[in-house]
Structure 1
Amino acid sequence: MTETQTTAEAVTTTRPTLLEARDLHVEFSSRGRRARAVDGVNLAIGEGEIVALVGESGCGKTTLARTLLGLERPTSGEVRYDGNPLTYTSKALKTYRRQVQLVLQDPTGSLNPRHTVYEAVAEGPRIHGLPDEQDLVSKALSHAGLRPPDRFFLRYPHELSGGQRQRVVIAGALALNPKVLIADEPVASLDASVRGEILALLLRLRDELGLSALVVTHDLGLAWNIADRVAVMYLGRIVESGPVEQVLTAPRHPYTQALMSVLPESPERVVLTGEPPDPTRIPGGCRFHARCQVLASGKAAEAGVHTRCRTEPLPILPATPEAQAACYYAETTTP
């Protein structure tokens, strides 16, 4: 498969695919050059599945999430929901966003301080003209763990704890009865004592409501605790993916290994040199090669792949449920 070849074939997952990116590219103009923020991504989220999208800041995670939400239009490739390509008319997007909802990382910034909890949660149903507004708000607050719901109707964000505010944000998404949540760093702004509660809530929503979720995070520990599958992103592309236990207990890509090494239980710390490259100047060969500890140590040379690492572009990974890594060295060590 060449670097630009897409997986146009149906994606095989253990669950029916609900939301999918196919050979997705998103570019922006930057100082007269084109920044390849998303540079060929295939990703599938199955029904009732939680997928964690992991990587450093600036790797393209948020741009990919915004594109899956229909907030950015792809330069090429497509987003598909329930088997159908996403179209970008106002009517189609409005219908789509009832099914795919965003949960932001900062509940304080997400909530209007002048709106009560009831008004915040009722905003979506009002925009979409849904009947039985109070019933929808009550059910959404209950599902989000704010019970009894009417006790919270007239409260304002400043009267709530950080965890309660995040639950209100989640309730605002649930009020539209979506099928997919896209959660961008959903617990990053919360105290450690509250993080587990919100993660447990997301798991309960998956179990009780059959919700699917894409959880965008830089935290592999979070991914371990919540996800069924994990996709590791570097410089606009997924470089490793698969079942969370398999990827995080035996990471094959050197970048994933480096990310894992910062966890407390890791036996060896890997310190990456330099910063992620400029997305307007993606290096040739493996896009990670300039920072790769395996290449720097001479192991890639011993395996006879060091020249390929520096010069030969890797294929775009397909959206399959099996563990996979875009790495020439990993290919030599696969049993």
Structure 2
Amino acid sequence: MSTPLLQARDLHVEFSSRGRRARAVDGVNLAVGEGEIVALVGESGCGKTTLARTLLGLERPTSGTVLYGGQPLTYTSKALKAYRREAQLVLQDPTGSLNPRHTVYEAVAEGPRIHGMANEEQVVAEALSRAGLRPPERFFLRYPHELSGGQRQRVVIAGALALNPRMLVADEPVASLDASVRGEILALLLKLREELGLSALVVTHDLGLAWNIADRVAVMYLGRIVESGPVEEVLKEPKHPYTQALLSVLPESPERVVLSGEPPDPTRIPGGCRFHARCQVLASGAAALAGVDSRCRSELLEVLPAVPEAQAACYYADTMAADEAVVR
């Protein structure tokens, strides 16, 4: 991969929680290339949204670096304002994202006004048109309650497009929409990538969505990426037991994997593999047969690098891969 457009390098984000330090993001390397769509997937509470907010400069990392265009992010007001014109956030709840007292025109014009852009009406009209609201003038004076859920999400996307960004960070962009509308919004994001060369980081718990829209996928668990790679490789042949469990809920999955318990408290991340307490491979005895069960419980895994190839942070997967290589 050439110099990524957006990159996290050994990123850590911690918060105080009941006198303890919660490691919301606990060593993440992630890269999004020019014109690339990367899906960041995982259960609720795994750190996806915190990572996305940190990549946008809305949270400051405890340690590590966010790079944009190869340059470290600078946290002055002026630098962040310029950066946020380049990298825009699209939230999952369009109803909550839009002020009910503002018309569609005012909602989309807010960003261009903050950044002092000229030809405001033309900018708003072009953004609405690109977002699929045509003719745009028909929507100028409408209020959010007069729109469908899909139209409201298009207005939110238009508000981001009005600033001519190079990067979108979409946090569960279709989670609140009806199934019939989700495909339209996903098709819109793909169309924007094709027409404008936009890059996107799509945060989701839905691996089916990742399959339909992403070039690469990164699977996150308890503050760390545990598997990543090209979407077809990861989702067709997942190596990490956590990814396998997430995929098992899809309708076409031959076998359902039910994980025990909830993700551990991020103030008390377990030793060894952070997934071992819920791991179906360890519980079944397969890890013991492979001779890695003690490592799973006690030895810390290395943080995955930001590389385009498929990779997984799992002792059992490493052993299986080594055995396959010997057979070949």
| TM-score, normalization by structure 1 | 0.96
Checking the alignment, whether the CA contact within 8 Å between 2:207 and 2:247 is kept in structure 1 is yes
Counterpart check, 1:89 vs 2:76: yes
Residue 249 of structure 1 aligns to which amino acid in structure 2?
K
Report Cα offsets for 1:137-178 as digits up to 9, x if no partner. 111001100011111111111111100000000000000000
- Give the stretch that moved more between structures: 15-24 or 154-163: 15-24
- Residue 118 (structure 1) aligns with: 105
Report the residue type matching 1:107 in the other structure.
Answer: P
Task: Write the letter of the residue equivalent to 2:21.
Answer: R
2:57 is aligned with 1:67:
no
**Correspondence 1:10-29 to 2 at 5 A:** 13=1, 16-29=3-16
- Cross-structure match for 2:22: 35
Asked if 1:294 corresponds to 2:304, the answer is no
Q: Write the distance in 2 (CA, Å) between the matches of 1:35 and 1:159.
A: 42
Which of residues 200, 221, 236 in structure 2 aligns to 1:234? 221
| Aligned-residue RMSD, C-alpha | 0.6
Q: Are the counterparts in 1 of residues 3 and 70 from structure 2 also a CA contact under 8 Å? A: no
Q: Which residue of 1 aligns with 2:303?
A: 316
Aligned pair partner of 1:331 in 297, 314, 318? 318
Specify the code of the residue in structure 2 equivalent to 1:81.
Y
Deviation for aligned residue 1:333? 1.0
Which letter maps to 1:37? A
Separation in 2, partners of 1:134, 1:16:
36
Does residue 222 of the first structure (1) align with residue 230 of the second (2)? no
Matches within 5 A, 1:1-335: 13=1, 16-334=3-321, 335=324
Which amino acid in the other structure matches residue 121 of structure 1?
Answer: V
Does the residue aligned with 1:222 lie in a helix, a strand or coil?
Answer: helix
SS of corresponding position for 1:57: coil
Shift in Å at residue 180 of structure 1? Answer: 0.4
Deviations 1:14-60 (A, max 9, x none): x5410000000000000000000000000000000000000000000
**SS in structure 2 at match of 1:121:** helix
Over residues 66-89 of structure 1, what are the superposed CA-to-partner deviations in whole Å (9 max), with x where a residue is unaligned? Answer: 000100000000100001000100
Counterpart CA distance in 1 for 2:259 and 2:266 is 18
| 1:5 corresponds to | none
Question: Could you tell me how far 1:135 is from its partner in structure 2?
Answer: 1.1
1:73 partner letter: R
Alpha-carbon distance in structure 2 between the residues aligned to 1:147 and 1:229: 32
Cα distance in structure 2, aligned partners of 1:118 and 1:161: 16
Q: CA–CA distance in 2 between the matches of 1:135 and 1:176?
A: 12
Amino acid aligned to 1:292: C
Per the TM alignment, residue 206 of structure 1 is displaced from its structure 2 partner at its CA by: 0.3
C-alpha distance after superposition, 1:111-155 (max 9, x if no partner):
011111000000000001111111111110011000111111111
Return 5+ residue gaps in structure 1 as ranges. 1-12
Deviation at 1:330, TM superposition (A): 0.1
Please give the secondary structure, in 1, of the residue aligned with 2:262: coil
Aligned to 2:5, the other structure's residue is in SS state strand
Task: Give me the whole-angstrom Cα distance separating, in 2, the residues matched to 1:250 and 1:83.
Answer: 32
- 2: CA distance between counterparts of 1:46 and 1:102? 17
TM-score (norm 2): 0.98
Size of the alignment, in residue pairs?
Answer: 322
